[in-house]
Amino acid sequence: MRIDSRAVHAGREPRSREPLAPPIVQTSVYVYNDLDDYDDAASGRRPGHFYTRNSNENTTWLGAAVADLEGAEAGLTTSSGMSALLVSILALAPKPVPIVAQRDLYGVTLSLLRQDLGPAGYELRLVDADDHGSVARALDGSGLLLLETLTNPLCRVADLAALGELAAARGVPMLVDNTFATPILCRPLELGAAAVVHSLTKFLAGHNDVTAGALAGPEAVVAEARARSVRMGTNLSPFEAWLAHRGLRTLAVRMRAAGAGALAVAQRLASLERVQRVHYPLLEGSPYEAVARRQFDGGGGAMLAFDLAGGRPAVQAMMERLRMVSFAASLGGVETTISHPEVASHRSLSPQERAGLGISGGTVRVSIGIEAAEDIAADFEQAIGG
């Protein structure tokens, strides 16, 4: 099946007389009446669930669905995107090693690398992912390459195939956060990634009503991450897994609708006098257009950003005039939302670091929903003026 169809059916195939929609198995523990049977399930010799911190029908179905869409052997769900990232890093680099990371990663990801993994002995080597020579030099003697398919918030596109070749030549695994692109646009495992992580909270769940994460990759990597997740207690609950799986089934239609809307809104924003720059990979003149068209399947995604003249006061004034678009420090839902990286996603960075990344007080991140693109653009136009 094509990926649009797989998104609807992935993770579970109902048998005769079973419910068509996945049921919620809302339990923390399972009953056994045979010690050998329990021992077989707990040891993994036979399939079975015994305690929800280890596994559950809903989390298993959801993990299998994400793995299917990413073209992976196995999948794992966790309590958040950050916990998925953490157990993935520890699975791929269990001992302290230098981690080569894209300079413009999500702000909380950078904080994790600096404030949590740094004291544990992991060295952080920040690089400009566009400068492949610098990446190659940083990879020498390192143990992990960490990238985002589309960066948060400025939607820069890493050339995963080229960077994956650099990492593979040095025996360094490449871990990719595919949250912004989703497997509808890009499947990093096909481009050399060792594993892929998602904040399921965002586009995969898609309705701003659940916090969850996921990892997809080879069985051995996922098994190592799962063991760490069980010990660290980063498991996802059955109800959240059910919500995320329900949202996942409409992923393809949501992403295609939102992606078309994003390009239209980006073009309209670029025409406004008070908008200094629009960041969207398929916008004419974007330095990432060529790699985005080569790497993405059918669009540039549902995320964009723009720089508003007048800085933070101008952003505040725009927010007060918006009628349909809301400020919400997340993304990926059916509603169009904005966020302000300076006070939200990248608040942990210093003003100098933000400026170095191209993030100013006037930078606005936009998550395009599935409303009519004309309505979204009109709301921004009346709120910004000009």
Q: Which of 187, 202, 228, 354 is catalytic?
A: 202
H and E: helices and strands count for the chain: 15, 12
How many CB atoms are located within 10 Å of the residue 71 CB?
A: 15
Residue 201 — φ and ψ, nearest 5°? -50, -30
Among 12, 53, 226, 365, the one annotated catalytic: 53
Query: Using CB atoms within 10 A of its CB, is residue 1 exposed (0-12), middle (13-18) or buried (19+)?
Result: exposed
The torsion angles phi and psi of 121, rounded to 5 degrees, stand at 110, -5
Can 95 be counted among the known catalytic residues?
no
> Is 53 noted as a catalytic residue in this protein?
yes
The answer to whether residue 231 is catalytic is no
Considering the candidates 12, 68, 103, 106, report the single residue annotated as catalytic.
106
Q: Is 63 exposed, middle or buried (0-12, 13-18, 19+ CB in 10 A)?
A: buried
- The active-site residue out of 177, 226, 268, 354 is 177
As a whole number of angstroms, the distance between CA 102 and CA 157 comes to: 11
Q: How far apart are CA 229 and CA 95, in angstroms?
A: 16
Contact between 260 and 299 (Cβ < 8 Å): yes
177 is catalytic: yes
Catalytic machinery residues: 53, 106, 177, 202
